[in-house]
Amino acid sequence: MAILFDAEKKIFKLDTASSSYVFAVHDSGRLLHLYYGAYLPDCDMRYLLDRGYFVSFTPDAAGYVGTEFSPDTQPSEYSCNGTGDFRISALQIRNADGNIATDIRYVSHRILSEKPALPGMPSLRDENGDSETLEVTTLDQTTNAEVKLYYTVYKDLPVMTRHAVVTNTSDRAMELERVFSACLDFNTMDYDMVHLYGKWAKERTVTERPLCHGIQSIQSKRGSSSHNHNPFVALKAHGATEENGEVYGVNLIYSGNFSIEAEVDCLNATRLLAGINPTDFTWRLEPNESFTAPEAVMVYTDKGLGEMSRIFHRTYMKHLIKSPWRDVERPVLINSWEAAYFDFDDDKLVAFAHEAAKMGVDMLVMDDGWFGHRESDDSSLGDWYVNEKKLKGGLSSLIERVNAEGLKFGIWYEPEMISPDSDLYRAHPDWCLHVPNRENSPARLQYVLDMTRKDVRDNIFAQMYKVLSENKIDYVKWDFNRNLTEVGSALLPPERQKEVMHRFVLGTYDLMDRFVKAFP
């Protein structure tokens, strides 16, 4: 078995293909982290809990009388705010009394042979019994917030996934203010932090710096994970190279606001958190409601950064990507944008296809400019009907002509966006993200549709479905050309407005999922 529980010592041990992860249930019921690294046959590592530093500034554990124990110095499995752990917190809940003291204790656990899917979000799959999942149920006994922690280990890869589900089992509402997907405590700071920053046309620039005392982080509050910072961090041992040395990689499978934070404390220990950015985030949980945090993927290797990268690649190819193209060579495509921008018609596109076919290109993608009265970037987003003044023979005729040249046909969309100069905006100005009495900030001369709303998603789906179902289209280029400002939804009450960022991502995933199911 990949997951073991020593009932006598109250220790969990999770083994992947070449790594081990160990944590314990303390006598007080708190979950304490013990080890993550190269595979070890032994699991009795309680000696690692003794960090040997207790003074008046480190509070004892509330409600526990026993050997010296302070939440401020012990390695935590899922750190909570306001009850003695002063480091960065994975979980913070504002309860009905208005305070943010949070404290979860072990209740029970299950070992699952099937990996549960995350509702409404992408996550790794297990289609062939290659994994085991540990579900640990904890409870804040004061507020009745139930927190289930999920750990999945893969037997064929040195990979683990983590996420959390919070359920309000009380009879009063509570608000989640921090709910990270993964928390990792290390007993050292001897690592370099590697991450990927960038900008338009210069994405994924590798940078690294040694960890230092205090908090260091990367994050996005743009409404998308963005090319400014990828939701990925690696901690590598000093001197580790592409081929050698210990590396821990953490990647969040999530397209919205994220934060990956590392804090080095006065004992030279490091805590790493990965999850939804708590800035501009609160989620109100009514009684019996649940919230699922996105999935974090963790990789450990002692064979350097290159092997870490290859493990992520193999994992996502096998366990994340669902497309039938996953195991097939992708078609080579030519895109009309840089060659024509908005200035094209049927004949010009067919001429592109004719020349591209000579070079062995497999597909022509008709980019921006085919819909509404789109002759520049200042109109028509949201009006997804064919501009037959430009495509004089209609879309079906164009596709037939391109196919006759031996090429498949693709089309451009930007479904989350809306132009102020559009029929859709004139009919439904409240359908874009906006806040009362404040002017919207345009970017690329466009606003952003409120993807939290089902009526908005239904309208866009219906428009796109008509075009895609009536024409022989092989490929959709789905663009996203601006970030979110004036983030408010006309349908949500004031106390739920800080849910909009996450609901926007869930709405986008919902729309994408509907298209994949309609057009496999």
Q: State whether 316 and 334 are in the same domain.
A: no
Domain boundary among 298, 321, 344: 321
Q: Which residue has the tokens 């950064």?
A: 305
Which structure tokens are listed for 399? 């596709």
Instruction: Specify the pLDDT at position 54.
Output: 58
Residue 67 has pLDDT above 60, yes or no: no
pLDDT in tens, 211-220: 999 999 999 9
CA nearest neighbour of 370 among 401, 393, 400? 393
User: Cα(487)–Cα(502) distance, rounded to whole angstroms?
Assistant: 11
Q: State whether 257 and 353 are in the same domain.
A: no
Domain that holds residue 382: 325-518
Sign (positive or negative) of CA dihedral 364, 367, 371, 376: negative
Q: Are 93 and 166 in contact (CB under 8 A)?
A: yes
Q: State whether 405 and 497 are in the same domain.
A: yes
Output the average pLDDT for the chain: 94
Q: State whether 312 and 335 are in the same domain.
A: no
Q: State whether 272 and 336 are in the same domain.
A: no
Instruction: Specify the pLDDT at position 483.
Output: 96
pLDDT in tens, 290-315: 999 999 999 999 999 999 999 999 99
- Check: pTM over 0.75? Answer yes or no: yes
Instruction: Specify the pLDDT at position 60.
Output: 72
Which structure tokens are listed for 6? 């020593």
**Could you tell me the CATH number of the domain that includes residue 26?**
2.70.98.60
Instruction: Specify the pLDDT at position 62.
Output: 67
User: Cα(462)–Cα(389) distance, rounded to whole angstroms?
Assistant: 23
Segment 129-134 long-range contacts (CB within 8 Å, at least 24 positions apart)? 130/154, 130/155, 130/156, 130/319, 131/2, 131/155, 132/1, 132/2, 132/3, 133/3, 134/3, 134/12, 134/14, 134/109, 134/110
Which structure tokens are listed for 374? 């789109």
pLDDT in tens, 381-407: 999 999 999 999 999 999 999 999 999
Mean pLDDT of 172-196: 97
Burial 115-137 (b: 16+ CB within 10 A, else e): bbebeebbbbebeeebbbbbbbb
Banded model confidence at residue 16, pLDDT cuts 50, 70, 90:
very high
Number of Cβ atoms within 10 Å of the Cβ of 146: 18
- Cβ contacts of 35 within 8 Å, gap of 6 or more: 20, 21, 22, 45, 48
Per the structure, the count of domains in the chain is 2
Environment class of 489 (CB within 10 Å of its CB; exposed 0-12, middle 13-18, buried 19+): buried
Q: State whether 225 and 119 are in the same domain.
A: yes
Domain boundary among 321, 341, 357: 321
Domain boundary among 321, 352, 372: 321
Residue 257 has pLDDT above 60, yes or no: yes
Banded model confidence at residue 65, pLDDT cuts 50, 70, 90:
low
Q: State whether 87 and 210 are in the same domain.
A: yes
